[in-house]
Every structure is written in structure tokens, then in C-alpha cells.
Homo-oligomer: A and B are copies of this chain.
């Protein structure tokens, strides 16, 4: 945000600023985007930055800390703009879709994000504020508004995992006799696993928001 001068810290030589939280975050996202979370290690992150692994600990206190930095940057990409133009229920649906699209590519962050205090995550907090204000403007109570956010988030996180599920996830293999009805039903889903996951998510999201609309505005939609 605010521009910093290329400050000659201390008194002696300028000692060029090799590392920073910002550069560290960008490098981590680069690795994750290009090679996936499995390849993000403190060693690989250090290599990407041209420093030794131990040097990283001057800027973060643990690998978890790195994940937190990534997470806040990912949350910045979630689209909150629908809250500016649409009624709360439609905006909530668009927000959830964007949220899920983001985290489908970052499922490794879900266990971190789900229990992370917002105090460590300014962008997340900004996002919550936008949603809370929209719900408030719609006349929804404080505690209920937070519960709506938490509930929609829960569905989004769970559904994000499904995006990556393999095609054969509901193929019973040799166990078909254990579940004849379910097997028959599963065969009726779209063949493309992404399409199948999208369909299930849309059904659940539509139903959830429909239920919320009915509860909080009395409308049947």
C-alpha cells in the first residue's frame, strides 16, 4: 500500500533487502500455482528465493505461517462485487460460487483457513465485513448474519474438495451388491466429474439460500 523508500537501514552498508514477507508470499504462490502444494517446502521456497532455508525464519515463524500468508492472498481473489448491485440472496450465491472456485485450487488451505483467527488475515476480514454489511442492510440480525456466513462457508469448503474427486469415486468396484440402489443412481450422474460436482453444489447452494430466504424474508422465491 504505502510506498516505502529504499531505506538504508542501520548505519553501515545498505545490505540489499534480499528477503521480505511480500517476496516470500509471491514465491510461495508461484510454487503452489505451478507445482502444487505437495512441492511447497521450506527448502523449495528458499531455493526459489535464492536463500538458505533457515533464512526464511527471519520473516515467518513456521511453515503454517507461510500458508496463512498465501491464504490471505487467495481470499483477496474472491469476488465480493455482487454485493454492490444485487439483492442479498443472489449476491450470496455469486459470492459462494467464486469462493468455491478459488478454494478448489487451494484445498490444502481449508484445514488452515477453517480454524484461523481473522486477526491474522486482513483480506479475509475485509471480505466478511462486506458480506456482513449486505446482510445487515437486508435487515438480518447480527448473530444470524455471522451464522449465515459460517454456514455458507462450510458448504463451500466441503464442496471445494468434490471438485477434485476422481471420476470413479462412486464406482463400487467389486462391492456393487452392497449398494445396488446407490450404484444405479450414481450411474445417472454426468460423466464429467467436474460437471457432476458442479451440479451437486448448485443444488445444495440453491436449496440453502432458498431456505435462508424463506426464513429471513418470508419470501418463497
Contact = CB atoms under 8 A, between A and B. Distances in A.
B185 A117 contact: no
Interface in A180-200: 180-182, 184-189, 197, 199-200
B117 A179 contact: no
A57 interface: no
B178 A110 contact: no
A164 B146 CA distance: 17
Number of chain copies forming the complex: 2
B207 A114 contact: no
Contacts of A207: 151, 207-212, 214-215
A209 B215 CA distance: 12
Classify chain A's interface size: 35 or more
Contact of A146 (B141, B172, B186, B220): B186
Name the prevailing secondary structure of the A interface residues. Answer: helix
Contacts of A155: 151, 154-155, 158, 204, 208
Contacts of A111: 107, 110-111, 161
Contacts of A199: 143, 147
Contact of A185 (B142, B154, B180): B142
A133 B158 CA distance: 23
A65 interface: no
8 A-B pairs with least C-beta separation: A151-B204, A207-B211, A154-B158, A119-B173, A114-B161, A129-B179, A142-B185, A211-B211
